[in-house]
Amino acid sequence: MTVDAVHEPFRTQLTVRLREGDTLLGVPLPGPCTFTSGNGVDILWMGPDEYLVLAGPGRQAELEAALSPECDAVVDVSAQRNVYRLSGSPAPRDKCPNDVTLKHRVVEVLAHGCSIDLEMAPPGTCVQTLLARTGIVLMVREDDFTILVRQSFSGYFEAWLADASLEYVS
């Protein structure tokens, strides 16, 4: 069983301020500490009237043009954070007990540096927290996690993740 971390470079990230409305880009707005997905974007709740729109690379201009008429403010923050996807991959059956899920191993690695109880966090959860003293945005998905790390802390985050994962290397 391994914990896989994939860097997803050049993701589009737009901070949006919206005081009134219940959708963005045809996607329902998330409530506190959650995110919603649809139409090729994730919309993360970042605070009262503040959202982060996360999409594939190169969509900044397209999404900014679509969002500007309906929002109070739209700012391209794509260069601010690096995006990582953490998931598990199976080991041979004799090395991984039947009662341990792949997601559980990722949770164990993250627990080395994060105080959030991820065992209790349902898919759709999105929180701003600390991981190994580094500010992150953490998204809980059905089978994996997405972590947004400030670009200046990415090297530290990668080194910490490699160290925290050592005990799970076969």
Reported confidence tier of residue 30, pLDDT bands at 50, 70, 90: very high
pLDDT digits (tens, 9 = 90+) for 61-117: 999 999 999 999 999 999 999 999 998 765 444 455 544 455 678 888 999 999 999
Residue 111 contacts residue 118 (beta carbons within 8 Å): yes
In whole angstroms, give the CA distance from residue 101 to residue 88.
9
pTM of the model: 0.89
DSSP letters spanning the chain: -EEEEEE-TT-EEEEEE-SS-SEETTEEPP-TTBEEEETTEEEEEEETTEEEEEESTT-HHHHHHHHGGGSSEEEE-TTTEEEEEEEEEPPPGGGS-TT--HHHHHHHHHHTT--S-TTS--TTBEEEEEETTEEEEEEE-SS-EEEEEEGGGHHHHHHHHHHHHGGG--
Mean pLDDT of the chain: 90
CA angle 154, 157, 161 (to 5 degrees): 140
Q: Give yes or no for residue 49 having a pLDDT over 60.
A: yes
The average pLDDT across 35-51 equals 97
Give the mean pLDDT of 132-143.
Answer: 95
Provide the pLDDT for residue 101. 56
Q: Which domains does the chain have, with CATH numbers?
A: 2-6+81-168 (3.30.1360.120), 10-76 (3.30.70.1520)
Task: Tokens for 146, please give them.
Answer: 């997405």
Strands 73-76 and 50-55: unpaired
Percent of the chain with pLDDT over 70: 89
